[in-house]
Amino acid sequence: MIRGNHDLKITHDEIEKMIGNSIGEDEALDLYRSMGIALKLNGDFYEFSKINFLEKRVIKEKIDQIENATSIRLEVEEIIETTSRYFTDEDFKRHEYSLCFAEFQTQGRGRASNTWFSPFGSGICFSVIGCLSNESSPLGLSIYCGISLVRILRELGYEDVFMKWPNDLIHDGKKLGGILIELSSKSSEYYMFNIGIGVNHDLRSELNSMHENHFPPTDLRQIDHRVDFSRSEMSGIFAKAIIESLMNFDQKSMQKAFSLWPEFDALHQKNIKIIEGDTCIEGKNLGIDDTGALLLDQNGIIKRVYNGHLVA
């Protein structure tokens, strides 16, 4: 494969060598289509459109602006199962923070049993692992990180990006991205976090082949193509914002962020439904409490909701 930030081409022999198996022309087309890449046969080559590949050097330039950046590990992979499973428990001990970006995840993960699909080279998909003191409550961490992302997006010019409780990034009713938090405690002094971030950068026409996308999506290029940052620059900016917010995370900073929730909530004061399994409850969205739980007004009775899928 000819790799770079330009149009690409690959021969059938190269595809077979890459996968270690003989396949037919239709199978090759299906293979790339499954990754969200539309191949076109042109003579001896398959061609596909420009992919803005991630550049580790560019991402690192942003991360190096963080204080004590030498304690941060950065990895950039092409095709892996999921960035959330790239690191081991040993990595928690060696680095204060570890980040893994990927061009494509074969088993990208969303909330519950959902899957996060993003065509090859179209999204900003990464995971951050590290530790936080047990003195700080981890409740609401996804909202805290989500607010950090929305704030930096608005500073960059994406003024109408909001959040949908508890972890979706929304623009004009369409899903721009999401955040997945996993926590575990193996010490009385700290807990470990694994934060997965997925933001659509440029879905291109290949999205049409990703039939698994059941939500109406959008991407940063569709929202405002005038914002002049490459996918790598944006990746570094997001990573820097998340790590710096985690460095400053405590009860005080979390409550300060939560106080801003009404201006970040896409459905504030709206009538909504919360679906969890076979159960559906309805009410008016009043915001969140100091733990990040959703406050639902049901005819004057305030119910706290900790889990579930929110729909308008």
Domain that holds residue 243: 56-258
Pairing label, strands 309-311, 271-276:
antiparallel
Same domain, residue pair 83 and 231:
yes
> Would residue 1 count as lying in a domain?
no
* Confidence (pTM): 0.84
Domain at 272, CATH number: 2.30.30.100
Same domain, residue pair 40 and 145:
no
Same domain, residue pair 144 and 33:
no
> Would residue 2 count as lying in a domain?
no
Same domain, residue pair 136 and 282:
no
pLDDT at residue 36 in the model: 63
| Terminal Cα distance for the chain, rounded | 45
Q: How far is CA 260 from CA 28, 129, 147, in A?
A: 49, 26, 8
pLDDT at residue 192 in the model: 87
Phi, psi of 37 (to 5 degrees): -115, 125
Same domain, residue pair 87 and 228:
yes
pLDDT at residue 102 in the model: 92
pLDDT at residue 2 in the model: 42
Same domain, residue pair 205 and 81:
yes
CB 275 within 8 A of CB 291: no
> Would residue 295 count as lying in a domain?
yes
Per-residue confidence of the chain (312 residues) as pLDDT tens digits?
A: 444 444 567 777 877 787 777 887 777 777 776 666 666 777 777 776 677 889 999 999 999 999 888 889 999 998 888 888 888 777 777 778 999 999 988 765 554 445 556 777 789 999 999 988 777 667 789 999 999 999 999 999 998 999 999 999 999 999 999 999 988 876 777 888 999 999 999 887 655 444 444 568 899 988 987 778 899 999 999 999 999 999 999 889 999 999 999 999 999 999 999 998 888 999 999 999 999 999 999 999 999 998 888 887
> Would residue 245 count as lying in a domain?
yes
pLDDT at residue 6 in the model: 42
pLDDT at residue 7 in the model: 53
Q: 189: buried, middle or exposed (CB in 10 Å: 19+, 13-18, 0-12)?
A: exposed
Domain at 175, CATH number: 3.30.930.10
Same domain, residue pair 146 and 220:
yes
Q: DSSP states of the chain as a string?
A: ---SSS-EEE-HHHHHHHHTS---HHHHHHHHHTTT---EEETTEEEE-------HHHHHHHHTTSTTGGGEEEEEEEEES-GGGSS-HHHHHH-SEEEEEEEEETT-B-STT-B----TTSEEEEEEEEEEETTS--TTHHHHHHHHHHHHHHHHT-TTEEEETTTEEEETTEEEEEEEEEEE--SSSEEEEEEEEEEES--TGGGGG-TT--S-B--HHHH-TT----HHHHHHHHHHHHHHHHHT-SHHHHHHHHTTHHHHBTTTT-EEEEEETTEEEEEEEEEE-TTSPEEEEETTEEEEE-S-EEE-
Round to whole Å and give the CA distance between 186 and 188: 7
Last residue of a domain, one of 241, 258, 275: 258
Same domain, residue pair 235 and 300:
no
Structural domain total, the chain:
3
